[in-house]
Amino acid sequence: MTDTAAVTTQEVELAASTKDAPELLSWDSRARRTITVYIPLAIFIIVLLFPFYWMAITSIKPDYEMYNYKQYNPFWVHSPTLDNIKKLLFDTEYPRWLMTTMGIATAATFISVGASVLAAYAIERLRFRGAQHVGLAIYLAYLVPPTILFIPLATLIFQFGLFDSPFALILTYPTFLIPFCTWLLIGYFKSIPYELEECALIDGASRLQILWRITLPLAVPGLISAGIFAFTLSWNEFIYALAFIQSTEKKTVPVAILTELVTGDVYQWGSLMAGSLLGSVPVAIIYSFFVEYYVSSMTGAVKE
């Protein structure tokens, strides 16, 4: 009985492994695994990471190497230089753009996470009538793309006298951050047992005390991931920053690189790549510290 079962499973496994079987069993041969798993995976990783490698290597190449593929192997740097980065940091307003972006992203993140915590708590825990509908409406707000909003928002920003001011961005970024964070935090609050709050309620704690002393401490991982998400999203935002900010020194990094560093017909690829690389570093660092929160909460949020 067991023998026949083993034989059939082995046969089945042989047939299965020629396709992309989702689960390969342990007795699957090593060679086949290499072909069906490791080689495709290696190609995926190379293709997904190559643009970053290329960005990094271009940013430390001297000009004579960058434009001479015949003499210098383009995949390697023969005499690395920091000239591009130096030029970027000292001849342009790059440090200022970095600070501006950092400030705007931080402010927008705090506003959004604060508002989202309250909203998510009200929707998930206060259990008022119509909570579901409010939740759905906030979720729908996430589906409104910024590209259909930026023109009316531009006129609104102008009326408020916020044009060309960082507040234009700090106040508009929450429109796409709050729905996302609320959605994520509702999911997180759901995972905290309601009994804990009931106990506190019976013991005479007020609603605010419950939120402050019981729910929030338990929701810290959720708050961190909402914060990281909000920070990365505002760091990456482009169209509002492009439309609402005009003066050079107030621009955010993505906009400034594209509009200030690209001048004339000859592109300074070295500085452009250095700028892109440095602009990616802050989000990459934050991401690398919290990658586990990030991945799990992203999948958790999508599962909702």
Partner 1 sequence: MDATTGDLALEWKPRKQHSRIGRLFDSKPFLVALCLLPTVGLLVVFLTYPLGLGLWLSMTDTTIGQPGEYIGLDNFYSLFSDPVFWGAVWYTIFYTAVATVGKFLLGLWLALLLNNHIPFKAFIRAIVLLPWIVPTVLSAIAWWWIYDPQFSIVSFVLVDVLHWRTHYIDFLGSPWSARWSLIVANIWRGIPFVAITLLAGLQTISPSLYEAALLDGASGWQQFRRITVPLLMPILSVALTLSVLFTFSDFQLVYAITRGGPFNSTHLMATLAFQRAIPGSQLGEGAAIAVSMIPFLLVATLVCFFGVGRRKWQQGSDND
Binding to partner 1, residues 58-87 (CB under 8 A): 58, 66-67, 69-70, 74
Between the alpha carbon of residue 249 and those of residues 100, 104, 114, 150, 224, the distances in Å are: 9, 14, 29, 22, 31
CB of 213 to partner 1, least distance (A): 8
- What residues numbered 130-149 form the site for partner 1, per CB under 8 A? 134, 138, 141, 143-149
Nearest residue (CB) to partner 1, 83 versus 111: 111
178 sits near partner 1 (criterion: CB under 8 A): yes
| Cα angle, residue 227 at apex, residues 165 and 213 outer, rounded to 5° | 120
CB-based burial label for 285 (10 Å; 0-12, 13-18, 19+): exposed
Instruction: Report the chain's C-alpha Rg in angstroms.
Output: 26
Q: Which of 46, 54, 63, 199 binds partner 1 (CB under 8 A)?
A: 54
CB of 102 to partner 1, least distance (A): 13
297 sits near partner 1 (criterion: CB under 8 A): no
Count interface residues toward partner 1 (CB under 8 A): 112
Residue 175's CB is within 10 A of a number of other CB atoms, namely 17
Q: Which phi and psi (to 5°) does residue 164 adopt?
A: 65, 25
Residue 176 neighbours by CB under 8 Å, 6+ apart: 142, 146, 233, 237
155 sits near partner 1 (criterion: CB under 8 A): yes
Q: Which of 62, 103, 114, 221 binds partner 1 (CB under 8 A)?
A: 114
For residues 40, 45, 47, 50, the Cα torsion angle rounded to the nearest 10 degrees is: -150
Binding segment for partner 1 among 17-25, 84-92, 217-225 (CB under 8 A)?
17-25
156 sits near partner 1 (criterion: CB under 8 A): yes
Nearest residue (CB) to partner 1, 184 versus 253: 253
CB of 100 to partner 1, least distance (A): 14
Nearest by Cα to 189 from 121, 98, 92, 102? 121
17 sits near partner 1 (criterion: CB under 8 A): yes
The backbone region for 127, taken as left when phi is positive above 0, alpha when psi lies in -120 to 50, beta otherwise, is left
CB of 90 to partner 1, least distance (A): 21
221 sits near partner 1 (criterion: CB under 8 A): no
Q: Which of 84, 222, 272, 293 binds partner 1 (CB under 8 A)?
A: 272
20 sits near partner 1 (criterion: CB under 8 A): yes
Q: Which of 9, 34, 79, 248 binds partner 1 (CB under 8 A)?
A: 9
Binding segment for partner 1 among 77-85, 88-96, 218-226, 235-243 (CB under 8 A)?
235-243
Rounded Cα gap, residues 115 and 106, in angstroms:
14
16 sits near partner 1 (criterion: CB under 8 A): yes
249 sits near partner 1 (criterion: CB under 8 A): no
Q: Which phi and psi (to 5°) does residue 167 adopt?
A: -65, -25
216 sits near partner 1 (criterion: CB under 8 A): no
Q: Which of 7, 12, 35, 136 binds partner 1 (CB under 8 A)?
A: 12
The sign one gets for the Cα dihedral 57, 58, 62, 68 is positive
